[in-house]
Amino acid sequence: MKHVKLGSQGLVVPSIGLGCMGMTPIAGGDIYGKADEKESIATIHRSLELGGNFLDTADLYGPLLNERLLAKAIKGNRDKYIIATKFGFEIDDNEQMTWRINGKKAYVKKAVERSLQNLGIDSIDLYYLHRLDKDTPIEETVEAMAELVKEGKVKYLGLSEVGSETIRKAHAVHPITALQTEYSLFERTVEEAGILATIQELGIGFIAYSPLGRGFLSGQIKSPDDFPEDDFRRNIPKYQGEQFQKNIRLLEEIEAIAAEKGITTAQLAIAWTIAKGAVPIPGTKKVKYIEQNIVATDIALSSDELQRLEAIIPLGTQTGDRYDSVSMTMVE
**Residues taking part in catalysis:** 61
Helix (H, G, I), strand (E, B) or coil at 245: helix
Beta pairing class for 89-91 and 97-101: antiparallel
Question: What radius of gyration do the chain's Cα atoms show?
Answer: 19
Cβ atoms of residues 7 and 204 within 8 Å? yes
Question: Which residues, 6+ apart, have CB-to-CB distance to 281 below 8 Å?
Answer: 16, 17, 18, 19, 54, 56, 180, 207, 208, 209, 211
Whole-angstrom distance, CA of residue 314 vs CA of residue 201: 24
From the centroid of its chain, how far is CA 171? Answer: 20
| Cα dihedral 9, 45, 280, 296 sign | positive
Question: Which residues, 6+ apart, have CB-to-CB distance to 76 below 8 Å?
Answer: none
DSSP 161: S
Torsion of CA 41, 47, 53, 56, to 10 degrees: -60
CB atoms within 10 A of CB 225: 9
Alpha helix positions (H), the chain:
37-49, 65-74, 105-119, 138-150, 164-173, 189-192, 195-202, 241-261, 265-275, 287-295, 303-312, 325-328
Whole-angstrom distance, CA of residue 157 vs CA of residue 149: 8
